[in-house]
Amino acid sequence: MRNYLSLIKFSHTVFALPFALVGFVLGIHYPGVEFDPVVLILIILCMIFARSAAMAFNRFVDRHIDAVNARTSQREIPAGVISPGAALTFTLISSGLFILCTYFINPLCFALSPVALAVVLGYSYTKRFTAFSHFILGLGLALAPIGAFLAVTEVFDVIPVLIGIVVLLWVGGFDIIYALQDESFDTEHKLHSIPTFLGAKGALVMSSVVHLMCGAVCIYAVYRMGNDYEALSWLLWGGAGMFLASLAYQHTLVKPGDLSKVNLAFFTTNGLASIIFGTAVILDFYI
């Protein structure tokens, strides 16, 4: 069990889960919608199964690349801890369970489930042909608040879409920073990323620009949330402010030629940012 949890980096679920819960809370406060604990459980299961499928498939697809990269050579498949066949089987089972959960949510989510899987599984191939793979990863996580809202309401709405855009830009920006670790390796093996396309300095500038865009959309989303849901308070704005501060802070941790604090910028800072923002939005509806 430890090996499979490590394979899918289960602890990284913290990045998207709070935003999925935000989408759920927005949904149950939509006119004519009531709280359903079964739907909440199914949403959480969908998050777990979709992310598990995506991570296991990524490790399966990248197993040969991981094996020759010093940073990733000890991952479960190249290290021989989990076989490629087992990882692929795990992907298929997780994908099937995801689709099954959407079936019990509502017909719209069930119909869209292959689209969601196409995005989260297809990401694994993108760095072979585009430097913008970071934003495909962001798109996969951006589906969390939108999908959770659809699970509750069966309709699209502008606010969860705005929250989804926030997630897309947030994840895309910090994944550019994380990809700096493999700039030389990716260049040598003809893999595409923003660092290989723009260099370390250019990549950090682009990451900053993307996070500035993220901040602008976040402010507008919070403003719309306050107007449409009458949920505007110091708690909501405080959570958004701390989320935006975390975006700025991570850019002080990483510099060209000094990647010693990449993990602090990537895992700790962004994990806390997600939890703080999600908690603030949810509490704002109930306090």
State how far the Cα of 95 lies from the Cα of 277, in Å rounded to an integer.
29
State how far the Cα of 57 lies from the Cα of 98, in Å rounded to an integer.
14
Query: Which amino acid is present at 229?
Result: Y
- Considering only CA atoms, which of 111, 66, 72, 81 is closest in space to residue 4? 81
- Considering only CA atoms, which of 243, 248, 244, 229 is closest in space to residue 277? 243
Judged by DSSP in three states, 255 sits in strand
- For residue 166, what are its two tokens? 């926030």
pLDDT at 142: 96
State how far the Cα of 252 lies from the Cα of 256, in Å rounded to an integer.
11
- For residue 84, what are its two tokens? 């490629």
* CATH label of the domain that carries residue 275: 1.10.357.140
pLDDT at 169: 97
* pLDDT < 70 regions, the chain: 3-12, 231-232, 265
pLDDT at 235: 86
Task: Note whether 148 and 28 are within 8 A (CB).
Answer: no
Name the residue range of residue 262's domain.
2-286
State how far the Cα of 161 lies from the Cα of 14, in Å rounded to an integer.
20
Task: Note whether 50 and 120 are within 8 A (CB).
Answer: yes
Task: Specify the number of domains making up the chain.
Answer: 1
Query: Which amino acid is present at 214?
Result: C
pLDDT at 267: 76
Task: Note whether 236 and 222 are within 8 A (CB).
Answer: yes
Judged by DSSP in three states, 29 sits in coil
- For residue 182, what are its two tokens? 């493999």
Continuous segment of H or E residues that includes residue 128: none
